């Protein structure tokens, strides 16, 4: 008798071995029809998988996260099937699941076009409609190599040849197409209904630039038509908000091939930068941080002591001078410890909080660079708190409260909290880890935050909290973090004199709120679609005259507002006022002040707010009060 235990704890008994599909059928016809895969004793398998011993079983449908992954994995194979039917000489390579979709790499004699993608997608739909069964078989490795070589699939044969000789490999067939895969897959192609091919790009074979260039077709797949449409709508909205496009249109910054991965900030973009940096500098001052500045270039020996040389050397920019090796810093922490070590520190000095707008460089691969979101040179609002073990909790609570206020000022109130706990390979005693993890957990509870645990994902030197923002169109951006570090003070021999007059190691808390300023500004641009709130806008006010007769008065208004500290420009061109209003509205300026003869005569301005709002005529003093309130209150409009 075979006993199958279901997720609700109920048990079903069978006289002999049974497949996942048969169990689903025995439960109900609806479940059997919806079944995409099964989870047997924690492992996801095909519905054809035979259960021959007592097991725990979950039936996976499209409502489950694992089900969606199976759909996407199977849709990648459907893509390869369609390509082989339309372009028989194309060779298939690999086709994994990625976030929100999948891709498949092909070798083909010419580039695929957008017209090709439309044809491929149409063929995929036709193949799915045939509802062909997806069948699995197993071959010895060498037999599988020979099989794919015989088909002319040399890339696939190379992949299989890299598998140990004593291992069998599984193949999946649907119709005339068969592919190497571990699985699992949907039972038949009819389960694949809601997909879209997105784009084609180049990709090196096995990710090595020394190898030949392949063509990568990206696609997305979802469980329902509505989910697919929601995703496509989100992508359309994301395209409108793309910070690279807005950076050009609003004249904020550019990236140049003369310096890949580094940002050329234009005057308007640098005004945004300064607004963010000066705001964060005030946050430093208001919360007990002492601002410091450490060198960018540090001796190789320091990086060896910290462990970065072994772990990050390939991502560090290095140079040599007078027979000494140096590296541009990829992070700021070692420099702050060297500052901490200058002069004797007492327990009375702790907690000691250092903050730095530290510029870092990391040698990222060019293929991974993305506008100002992923760069090679970036500046962090980096801070390090040196404290005792007993001070960890209070510092973490204060930090989370501060982070929430900062994010709210920038318009982000939806924050996801995740605590990454001790990994298997770590340093420090369990007692210290217990205290650090407890402090992080209790700090979030004290702040009223719901959080999730990520067991084993902490750094080797200590646990951490990751703070992830959710933006206006539902995307997630991991920005803030606080990490507990017992390692680096030990490695660099930092200490303080305790109340017992003995030397003790401080605990080091690594913390950043906005993280990379470049990336955070990119997020802000996309969150607001370029319409930054008044306190952050590069040009807060544009003063427009109707005729030359008001030019002098318009400039007086500009100077008055500039003297109040606002970012103001005049447009005195001899153009129609409707043209000037339209142009500056496209530039997303928060306030347009229109001046005609009546306004000049009464010492007033006609105020138009962003979005076409006519706020009427008011005195310059009244407008100063209004915009001052916007800036002081960090108004989000």
362 is catalytic: yes
* Residue 179 falls in the annotated catalytic set: no
**Closest CA relative to residue 402, chosen from 388, 383, 389:** 383
The answer to whether 593 and 540 have CB atoms below 8 angstroms apart is no
Q: How far is residue 280's CA from residue 230's CA, in Å, rounded to a whole number?
A: 36
| Distance of alpha carbon 48 from alpha carbon 17, whole angstroms | 12
DSSP annotation of 110: S
361 forms beta bridges with 377
| Active-site choice (380, 391, 483, 540) | 380
Active site residue 504: no
Active site residue 464: yes
Measured CA to CA, the distance from residue 422 to residue 463 in angstroms comes to: 6
Would you call 136 a catalytic residue per the annotation? no
The first and second tokens of residue 285, run together, are 């001052």
> What's the Cα-to-Cα distance from 549 to each of 99, 545, 554, 556, 600, rounded to whole Å?
59, 8, 10, 13, 9
Cα–Cα distance measured from residue 601 to residue 624, given in angstroms and rounded to the nearest whole number: 19
Catalytic status, residue 634:
no
**Which residues face 263 on adjacent strands?**
255
- Which of 381, 382, 571, 630 is labelled catalytic? 382
The 8-class DSSP code of residue 506 comes to: P
Of the residues 243, 308, 510, 584, only one is catalytic, namely 510
Q: How far apart are the C-alpha atoms of 24 and 47, rounded to whole Å? A: 9
Active site residue 380: yes
Catalytic residue among 181, 333, 396, 479: 333
Yes or no: say if 55 and 82 are a contact pair by the CB < 8 Å rule. Answer: no
Q: Sort strands 324-328 and 318-321 into parallel, antiparallel or unpaired.
A: antiparallel
Nearest residue to 443 (alpha-carbon basis) of 400, 405, 403, 486: 400
Q: Which of 84, 384, 511, 608 is catalytic?
A: 384
Tell me the helices (H) and strands (E) count for the chain, helix number first: 20, 35
**Three-class HEC string of 173-240:** EECCEEEECCCCCCCEHHHCCEEEEEEEEEEEHHHCCCCCEEEEEEEEEECCHHHHHHHHHHHHHHHH
- Active-site choice (72, 336, 361, 464): 464
Q: Which residues are catalytic?
A: 333, 362, 380, 382, 384, 464, 510
């Amino acid at each position: 008798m075979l006993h199958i235990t279901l997720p609700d704890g109920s048990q079903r008994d069978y006289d002999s071995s049974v497949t996942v599909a048969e169990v689903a059928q025995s439960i109900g016809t609806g479940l059997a029809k919806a079944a995409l895969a099964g989870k047997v004793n924690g492992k996801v398998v095909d519905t054809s998988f035979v259960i021959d011993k007592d097991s725990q079983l979950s039936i996976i449908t499209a409502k489950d996260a694992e089900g969606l992954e199976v759909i996407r994995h199977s849709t990648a194979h459907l893509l390869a099937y369609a390509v082989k039917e339309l372009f028989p000489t194309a060779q298939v390579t690999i086709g994994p699941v990625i976030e929100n979709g999948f891709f498949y790499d092909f070798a083909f004699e010419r580039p695929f076009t957008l017209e090709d993608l439309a044809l491929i997608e149409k063929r995929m739909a036709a193949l799915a409609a045939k509802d062909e069964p997806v069948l699995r078989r197993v071959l010895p490795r060498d037999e599988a190599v020979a099989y794919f070589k015989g088909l002319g699939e040399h890339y696939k044969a190379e992949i299989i040849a890299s598998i140990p000789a004593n291992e069998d490999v599984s193949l999946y067939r649907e119709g005339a197409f068969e592919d190497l895969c571990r699985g699992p897959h949907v039972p038949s192609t009819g389960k694949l209904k809601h997909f879209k091919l997105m784009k084609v790009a180049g990709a090196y074979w096995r990710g090595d630039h020394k190898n030949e260039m392949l063509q990568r077709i990206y696609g997305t797949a979802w469980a329902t038509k509505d989910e697919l449409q929601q995703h496509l709508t989100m992508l359309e909205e994301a395209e409108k908000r793309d910070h690279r496009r807005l950076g050009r249109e609003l004249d904020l910054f550019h990236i140049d091939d003369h310096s890949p991965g580094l940002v050329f900030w234009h005057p308007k973009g640098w005004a945004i930068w300064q607004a963010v940096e000066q705001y964060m500098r005030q946050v430093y001052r208001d919360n007990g941080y002492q601002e410091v500045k450490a060198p960018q270039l540090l001796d190789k020996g320091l990086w060896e002591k910290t462990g970065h040389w072994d772990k990050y050397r390939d991502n560090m920019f290095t140079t040599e001078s007078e027979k000494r090796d140096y590296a541009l810093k990829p992070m700021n922490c070692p420099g702050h410890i060297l500052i901490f070590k200058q002069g004797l520190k007492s327990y009375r000095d702790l907690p000691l909080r250092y903050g730095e707008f530290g510029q870092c460089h990391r040698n990222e691969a060019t293929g991974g660079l993305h506008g100002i979101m992923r760069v090679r040179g970036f500046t962090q609002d980096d801070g390090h708190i040196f404290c005792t073990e007993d001070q960890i909790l209070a510092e973490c609570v204060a930090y989370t409260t501060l982070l929430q206020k900062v994010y709210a000022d920038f318009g982000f109130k939806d924050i996801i909290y995740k605590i990454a706990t001790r990994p298997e390979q770590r340093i420090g005693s369990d007692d210290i880890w217990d205290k650090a993890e407890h402090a992080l957990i209790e700090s979030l509870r004290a702040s009223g935050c719901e959080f999730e645990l990520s067991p084993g994902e902490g750094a080797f030197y200590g646990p951490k909290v990751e703070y992830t923002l959710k933006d206006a169109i539902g995307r997630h951006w991991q920005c803030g973090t606080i990490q507990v570090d017992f390692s680096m003070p030990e490695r660099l021999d930092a200490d303080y004199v305790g109340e017992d007059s003995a030397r003790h190691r401080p605990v080091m808390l690594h913390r950043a709120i906005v993280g990379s300023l470049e990336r955070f500004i990119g997020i802000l641009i996309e969150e607001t679609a370029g319409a930054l709130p008044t306190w952050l806008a590069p040009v807060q006010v544009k003063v427009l005259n109707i005729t030359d007769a008001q030019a002098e008065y318009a400039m007086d208004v500009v100077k008055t507002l500039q003297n109040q500290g606002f970012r103001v420009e005049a447009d005195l061109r001899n153009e129609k006022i409707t043209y000037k209003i339209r142009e500056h509205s496209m530039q997303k300026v928060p306030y347009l002040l229109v001046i005609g003869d009546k306004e000049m005569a009464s010492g007033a301005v006609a105020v138009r707010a962003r979005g076409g709002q006519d706020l009427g005529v008011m005195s310059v003093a009244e407008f100063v009060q209004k915009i001052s309130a916007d800036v002081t209150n960090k108004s989000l409009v």
